[in-house]
Chain A
Amino acid sequence: MSKIKVESVKLVKSKSLGRGNFVFDLAPFSGVKSIKPGQFIHIRMPESKLLFRRAFSVYDFDVSEKKISIIFKVFGRGTAQMSKLGQGADLDVMGPLGNGFKLPSRRETTILAAGGIGMPPLYLLAKKLLDKGFDPDKILFFYGGASKADLVDIGRIRKLGINVHAATDDGSYGYHGFVSDAIMDRVNITNGKYRLYACGPEGMLKALDELALRHDLPGQLSLEAPMPCGIGICLGCIKPLREGGYTRICREGPVYNVGEVLL
């Protein structure tokens, strides 16, 4: 009982990352101790007339400061309003919600495949693996976007000391093409030593899901959908499962095994 909490937090820092992308630091958040990479928080602006909360993957957290960070891109009315909030603004936060990633085994090489604003949960996963003493050489971070400016906060990923491979649709930076193609170009995924984790636009996830199924590459995908309630009661954020029926992204997800969801 009472595992899900709703609490008021303050926006302690807002920083523009360009191209309508922002990073928010929020504190104090009492749920900080239990966060798993892949989980999300559900945010409401108390002063906003918008009814629904908005879901954001946790990007980073600091237990001692009870601080969590999120990244978002201005997309609709909710994110547009959020982007205008100043330091000290009150936000109503519920979470952490959903299921996080299952960690790989130590002998596996981890492929983290991020697309644009889907990067945060994979950054947090990389950080967690490093904290647990995983070999940084066995963490491959593929980061794709339409253009160089869409590789949000890539410097912070590089600072982790892992292998970062950029890919852009327009070729303005790194590999010229999709993340799925960049992975095939750089890694021999067929040798059974790899595990994939991905988050990004649905088209990218679909390509990676197909690639992983084709090459027997195990892994997990983190999905996204507008979530009215975030806790499984509204049945709004559903996706069809390959075996039939629907799944609630907020409750059974947002992390799914490769092949589980019909993308």
Chain B
Amino acid sequence: MKPDLSVEIAGVKLDNPVLTASGTCGYGEELADVFDLSRLGGIVTKSITVEPREGHPPPRTAEAEAGMLNAIGLANVGVDRFIEEKLTFLEKYNMVVVVNVAGARLDEYVGISRRLADCPRADMVELNFSCPNVESGMEIAKDPARAEEAVAAVKKVFPRPVIAKLSPNVSDIKPIARACEAGGADALAVINTLVGMAVDIETYRPRLTNNTGGLSGPAVKPVALAMVDQVYHAVKIPVIGIGGIMDWRDVVEFFLCGASAVQVGTGLFVEPDAPIKIIDGLRKYLSRNKLGSIKELTGKLRKF
């Protein structure tokens, strides 16, 4: 029997558990030159804000040990152009479209989500409460009460599933996770990038004009796995694992720690067709281990 890779997030079926992570795949246009986007479980778009944003001046990416730092600064086309052009482009693909939403204030999250409510192609929204490169998001990400309020406010205006993307840059991620669940979040995406810095020893300057950036890539995977495990045991809603996924083995690890789906981010920069290889690898792994469905793996970690 062919193993079943499909998963379900808040009643929405994904053909497979692999999504591309926000900020690493634009709005899908470029990756469509690499593979058929319909082969993905879904795509999470670049963060959308009310107004278009150019982002921070260069340099805004830097290579790190087994990872990278970025401080793009939420460069995006703004919600109007996004709905007109980018969401229209995604119409023709048979996969789940998750629109990542960011804002400087709560009413911006609500305003964008309300606009997206009228766009059926926006299957879900993911609330970026955790971009380390803009001040406002972090305030919500660190304060359970504000996180709960924000999720609840978006839930009121957006009729389909709402995902809250959590920051690892907190002393304890569990209260935030529980607060988002209490606010009505349908799933949690764990984790965003870790605040980091790289320094040029000749010029004494940080390698990013934003001074700090978000660390991603294989370097953060152990942190992400630990946090997925913590969140999985703290809430009842599904957890979407993110952090340094490069191949199918990483995805199995995330599932065992409690993920019900995953997002591939920085891995796309290294191998733009990584999701396709991951999906193929997962299928073989399930067959080899005589597992009927990938869902059987979620949370099956045998802890000491």
Contact = CB atoms under 8 A, between A and B. Distances in A.
A232 B63 CA distance: 17
A229 B63 contact: no
Interface in B207-239: 217-218
Interface in B133-167: none
Contacts, number: 91
Interface in A199-240: 225-226, 228-229, 231-240
B58 A238 contact: yes
B268 A52 contact: no
B244 to A, nearest CB: 10
A4 B35 CA distance: 8
Interface residues of B, number: 35
Interface string A226-259: 1011011111111110000110000100000000
B54 A245 contact: yes
Nearest to B277: A6
A160 interface: no
A94 B301 CA distance: 37
Interface residues of A, number: 29
B142 to A, nearest CB: 26
A49 interface: yes
Given A51-B67, A238-B60, A228 B269 contact: yes
Given A53-B270, A233-B272, A228 B33 contact: no
Nearest to A229: B269
A3 interface: yes
Given A51-B217, A245-B54, A246-B55, A6 B30 contact: no
A234 B70 contact: yes
Given A1-B36, A245-B54, A233 B26 contact: yes
A94 B65 CA distance: 22
Contacts of A3: 33-34
A132 to B, nearest CB: 28
Contacts of B57: 240
B203 to A, nearest CB: 15
A50 interface: yes
Contacts of B32: 1
Contacts of A238: 55, 58, 60
Interface in B12-66: 24-26, 30-36, 54-55, 57-61, 63-66
A246 B75 contact: yes
B172 interface: no
Main secondary structure of the interface of B (DSSP, over half): loop
A229 B63 CA distance: 11
Interface string A102-127: 00000000000000000000000000
B23 to A, nearest CB: 8
B58 A233 contact: no
B106 to A, nearest CB: 26
B218 A235 contact: no
Contact of A228 (B34, B36, B63, B273): B63
B59 to A, nearest CB: 8
Contacts of A2: 33-36
B192 interface: no
A260 B3 CA distance: 53
Nearest to A76: B63
A94 B67 CA distance: 20
Nearest to A3: B33
Contacts of A232: 26, 30
A67 interface: no
A96 to B, nearest CB: 13
A36 interface: no
Contacts of A6: 34, 271-273
Given A1-B32, A4-B33, A232-B26, A52 B269 contact: yes
A52 B68 CA distance: 9
Interface in A1-43: 1-4, 6
Given A50-B63, A234-B70, A236-B58, 12 more contacts: A1-B36, A3-B33, A6-B272, A51-B270, A53-B270, A226-B59, A228-B61, A228-B269, A232-B30, A233-B268, A234-B61, A239-B58
16 contacts: A3-B34, A6-B273, A52-B63, A53-B270, A226-B61, A226-B63, A231-B272, A232-B30, A233-B25, A233-B272, A234-B70, A234-B269, A236-B58, A238-B58, A238-B60, A245-B54
Q: Which 7 A-B pairs have the closest CB atoms?
A: A236-B61, A229-B269, A232-B30, A3-B33, A4-B33, A4-B34, A228-B269
